[in-house]
Structure 1
Amino acid sequence: MENQSIKTITLGLFFTIATVVSFAQVPDEVILSLKTGNASTLSNYFNDNIELVVLEKDDVYSKDQAKQIVANFFSSNTAQRFAIIHQGGKEGARYAIGNLTTQSGVYRVYFLLKEKGSQVYIHQLRIEKQ
């Protein structure tokens, strides 16, 4: 009886941890688009309106405006690598902080993703000089 209780508790704990980890993960395509400087792929994850901070640009922009601003950033700052240094979240929302290395320097990237239906959208994106 006691052995069965331990198995049940262990199984419950495993599923709880797996659920938390799955909510905290950032889609691979988002990470790859930052590593390669692909604004087009990244913008597929933008919400219809996104709070965007890219160097001196700081406002709420439409998806198309934000795509152009990020594309301009990547055309001036060729991406070399991107690494997430911290991420987390809870049901329905995730965030990540990472370092983007470009030929012109290192930038700190912050983004917030939220679920809408079965899709995940970037609601906030910040790219700031480190």
Structure 2
Amino acid sequence: MKKLLMVLGIMLLGGAFTTQKLSARSIEITVAGPFDDVVAALKKGDVSGLASYLDNNVEINIAGKSNSYSKAQAEIILKDFFSKNQVKSFELVHQGGDNSRFGIGNMTTGSGNYRVSFFLQKKGGTMVLNELRFENK
């Protein structure tokens, strides 16, 4: 009888630890920050996902043509770019920073390949996207 109770106790404890591990994993998966959200938006060519992080003024460089745009103008520029360049893949190859973050990746589109770099800067209590570069490879 003691052996049976001990086996049942171990099984119950094992189940409790498994449940806790699953809960911790689901939290990790659902919690994403601005950097990860921008990477995900670039992978999909999701202008809305990028627009939610755009600063009031954003520098955008597309194939050597660089300008500073308001948030509304930047969204139009990005919509135009992604409508002409449907994203097939985006691979992040380098990232860094603490208070400000940057990422560099390779983007393959239906009409060409680009080296993409982006910069997020802390502004107030949030991170904002203030520079995007799409350079022909």
TM-score, structure 2 normalization: 0.71
Residue 17 (structure 2) aligns with: none
1:26 shift after superposition: 5.8
Equivalent position of 1:54 in the other structure: 62
Aligned residue number for residue 28 of structure 2: none
Residues 34 and 53 of structure 2 are in contact (CA less than 8 Å); yes or no, is this contact kept in structure 1? Answer: no
- The 2-side partners of 1:116 and 1:76 are apart by 31
3-state DSSP of counterpart to 2:97: strand
Distance 1:111 1:31 in 2: 9
Shift of 1:58: 1.1
Distance 1:69 1:84 in 2: 22
Q: CA deviation at 1:56?
A: 4.9
SS in 1 for 2:121: strand
Gaps of 5+ in 1: 1-24
Matched, 1:82 2:102: no
Whether the aligned pair in 2 keeps the contact of 1:47 and 1:122 (CA below 8 Å) is yes
Q: Distance in 1 between matches of 2:51 and 2:64?
A: 19
> Paired residue for 1:126?
133
Q: What does residue 117 of structure 1 align with?
A: 124
CA RMSD of aligned residues (A): 1.5
**Equivalenced residues, count:** 105
Question: In 1, distance between residues paired with 2:77 and 2:62?
Answer: 8
CA contact (8 A) 1:83 1:100 kept: yes
Indicate the percent of aligned positions where both proteins have the same amino acid: 42
Counterpart contact for 1:85–1:98, Cα < 8 Å: yes
**Structure 2 stretches of 5 or more lacking a match?**
1-32
1:99-122 alpha-carbon deviations (Å, 9 max, x no partner): 111111210101111111221111
Which of the pair is proportionally richer in strand? 1
Shift of 1:55: 2.3
- Preserved contact between residue 40 and residue 71 of structure 1 (Cα < 8 Å): no
Shift of 1:47: 0.4
Q: Which structure carries more relative contact order (alpha carbon 8 Å, separation 6+)?
A: 1
